[in-house]
Amino acid sequence: MTLRAARGRAAEAVAEQFVRDLGLDVIGRNLRFGSLELDLVARDGAVVVVVEVRTRGKGAWAGALDSVDHKKQARLRRAAELLWVKQASRWPGIERLRFDVASVDLDAEGGPRVEYIRAAFT
């Protein structure tokens, strides 16, 4: 596993615990739909929550949250649409879907730091 992949997995684990601490039920991690992937999928009552997890190493040009650009959002929408059509629309009590973004700073003093944006885009 590359250093980048290891950092990504570590960031996902931190974000997963953060989401659980918010009271969401984590349904899946790294769900794949062909070449598309959803980092975390959780449930918040009647809402399916797709959580995109981002992290950046020291010296990165763009911040982790800035890296969720229009192209990335489009890919997430396509993957979420497949999740909805193939699975989530059939789950009891589910009414809609939301996109959240978690920025995880693994190098923060005192341990990992998470910046979380609820309903980051539509």
> Cα(90)–Cα(102) distance, rounded to whole angstroms?
27
Q: Identify whether the C-beta of residue 68 lies closer than 8 Å to the C-beta of residue 101.
A: yes
CATH topology of domain 3-65+94-121: Trna Endonuclease; Chain: A, domain 1 (3.40.1350)
Please check the confidence at residue 109 and state whether its pLDDT lies above 80: yes
What pLDDT sits at residue 60?
A: 55
pLDDT 10s digits, 48-85: 999 999 987 665 555 667 778 999 999 999 999 999 99
Whether the CA torsion 82, 68, 93, 23 is positive or negative: it is positive
pTM for the model: 0.91
Please check the confidence at residue 116 and state whether its pLDDT lies above 70: yes
What pLDDT sits at residue 5?
A: 87
